[in-house]
Amino acid sequence: MENTTEQTKGMTAEESLSLITETLNSNRKEIIQRSSKYYILWGALLTLFSIVIYLLWKLTDQGAWNNLWFAMPVIGFLLARLIGRKDADVNVQNDVSRITHGIWSAFGIFACTVAVFTIAYSYVSDGALELGRTIRAMVSVASLTAEIVLLFGLAESACGVALKNWAMKIAGFVTGIGGLAIYYITGANEEQMFIFTFAGLVLVATGLIVKRQYR
């Protein structure tokens, strides 16, 4: 944007506005194009982890395998940083990139907060028998899955609005509403992992569509 400001000196108001608009659109397209790699990365990880946790939960009948989810953001952030280093020379920083970063940061904070409160409540409820506690914990985790996928869909749609990209907008609605439908169909059992499998596949598909749009 600094270069753009220098270029607008000596131009008419109309020419300056046209140049600024052209620059913003170019930066927006660059951000969307680079985002496709992160969509594919996180979508693939989400799909992989959900399937692995589902199989382990199904085979052992132990919901404790959900703790493996804590490994996903660690692996994902390390891979994302590796990708980010390759894009360092073409890194675009403007109001749009800061907005999208803020949206996903807010999603992460809300998702983690909801998870902590939900899981903590399910295990500290007073006056519950062991069976009742277990059932309530399963229901709480299942509802947590639905809440997170709704937040995820909202964040993706919001990014689509900020970046003016129809694929991201639609994918967000499909993820949130489709994930909620799967939640009501599967119930409080290991099949709830298919919500994240569905969300991951939609995320990968979105990344591939965006990549094709701006290749």
Q: What is the mean pLDDT of residues 74-96?
A: 73
Evaluate if residue 5 carries a pLDDT over 60: no
Evaluate if residue 30 carries a pLDDT over 70: yes
Greater confidence (104 vs 133) lies with 104
- The confidence score (pLDDT) of residue 113 equals 83
Greater confidence (189 vs 135) lies with 189
Dihedral of the CA atoms 34, 36, 40, 43 (nearest 10)? 110
Greater confidence (67 vs 10) lies with 67
Identity of the highest mean pLDDT range in 18-27, 36-45, 86-95:
36-45
Helices (H), the chain: 2-8, 13-60, 71-86, 95-124, 130-163, 166-186, 193-213
Dihedral of the CA atoms 93, 96, 98, 104 (nearest 10)? -130
Q: Which residue in the block uniquely carries the two structure tokens 């899955």?
A: 145
Identity of the highest mean pLDDT range in 1-5, 130-134, 206-210:
206-210
Evaluate if residue 73 carries a pLDDT over 70: yes
Q: How confident is the model at residue 134 (pLDDT cuts 50, 70, 90)?
A: very low
- Confidence (pTM): 0.74
pLDDT tens-digit map of 93-112: 666 778 888 888 888 888 88
CA-CA distances (angstroms) from residue 152 to 27, 45, 57, 103, 178? 25, 15, 23, 10, 12
Amino acid at 203: L
Mean pLDDT rounded to a whole number for the chain: 77
pLDDT tens-digit map of 158-202: 988 888 888 899 999 999 998 888 888 876 567 888 888 999 999
- The confidence score (pLDDT) of residue 17 equals 60
